[in-house]
Chain A
Amino acid sequence: MNCIIVDDEAAARAIVSQLCSKAPELNVMEEFDSAIEAIKFLNEYKVDLIFLDIHMPGFTGIDFIQTLKNPPKIVMTTSDTEFAIASYEYEAIVDYLVKPITQERFDKCVQKVLKGKSSGSKTSSGFPTDQENASGEDLYINIDRRLIKLKYTEILLIEAKGDYINIKTQSKDYLVHTTLKKILDKLPDDKFLQIHRSFVINFNKIIDIEDNSVLIEKSVVPISRSNRPELMRRLNLL
């Protein structure tokens, strides 16, 4: 589960990061000392969970949530319990941790988040919602006003190209007007993985992995530093 930490205090970020390091289900992609920087990151990467401080100077955690159209799951962290009531008005907020956060309380939080993830719903993305995942094994894409069915197993990789994405399958490529983040919301987490700001791969199509790249059929796909830990975690390493 890819997560980020947003807190203006380095000490607080270090504590959450340390707690996350003990949870094998969590992969901390980045830490941010301002909400603005985190928003830029969220526009490029798929993040499953945010540990978010409420009380930050200038742009608060609540301001931050209000700017997100399709927020991932959010765990609020703060020393001010008075903010708890306000925070629960937002559906994306799944838990609330009071500083200093104990290991026991954090573990409970992770279990809560994971439980929610397994039964959670996907956010809307502009794909036709009534047909999507009809069989749980496919996806419909809209090309020239035609809805084309793609089986997950056909997809090799997806590359961001400006305002479009290129879906590469074994038989042909499809250029679709959408973003990587939106299609990732529609794809099953256990089959697809973002390994670079511009690339999502079908995990089952990996042929081999070198230092900073993955081979998918004949395509060499770069791995970014922040996505590498999650990729390595998912591998069934001998």
Chain B
Amino acid sequence: MKETPNLTYIDNLADGDEAFRQKFIGILKEEFPAEKNEYLTAMESSLFRGASELVHKIKHKLNVLGIQNAYTLAVQHENELRNGEHSLKQEFLSVLETVEQYLKTI
């Protein structure tokens, strides 16, 4: 079953603090697309080590958005990139698209 990003973790952390909630969503909306673009650029240039660093940053956001399977995929992708491999690229790109679309809705 496909996972859906959600703000459950952030809502629990905010505990009614709307200012924090909005601030955090703002950070996600700003950082995620930038990190995604940097990842794509690094992959196009076959800079796999650099790409793995970006996946490392992105995976934390996947965790925060409650998509555990996507997080696990990101961990595997980060590790393979460190070894110069990229078999999970397409699958990871699909996750990035899902998250990007979700962020446009919140």
Contact = CB atoms under 8 A, between A and B. Distances in A.
Interface in B38-60: 53, 56-57, 59-60
Given A18-B20, A79-B59, A99-B63, A11 B28 contact: yes
Interface of A: 8-12, 14-15, 18-19, 22, 55, 57, 79, 99-100, 103
Nearest to B30: A10
A60 to B, nearest CB: 12
Interface string B15-29: 101001001100110
Contacts of B20: 14, 18
Contacts of A18: 13-14, 17, 20, 24
A24 B86 CA distance: 46
B53 A12 contact: no
A104 to B, nearest CB: 10
Nearest to A15: B13
10 contacts: A10-B27, A10-B30, A11-B31, A14-B20, A14-B24, A18-B17, A55-B56, A79-B60, A100-B63, A100-B64
Interface of B: 9, 12-15, 17, 20, 23-24, 27-28, 30-31, 53, 56-57, 59-61, 63-64
Contacts of B64: 11, 15, 99-100
Closest 9 CB pairs of A and B: A10-B27, A11-B27, A100-B63, A18-B20, A100-B64, A14-B24, A79-B60, A99-B60, A100-B9
A18 B18 CA distance: 12
B66 to A, nearest CB: 9
Contacts of A100: 9, 60, 63-64
A100 B28 CA distance: 14
Among B12, B17, B27, B30, the one with the most A-chain Cβ atoms within 10 Å of its Cβ is: B27
A138 B28 CA distance: 51
B46 to A, nearest CB: 19
A223 to B, nearest CB: 25
B24 A11 contact: yes
Given A14-B23, A14-B24, A18-B20, A9 B13 contact: no
Nearest to A17: B20
A53 to B, nearest CB: 10
Given A57-B53, A100-B9, A11 B14 contact: no
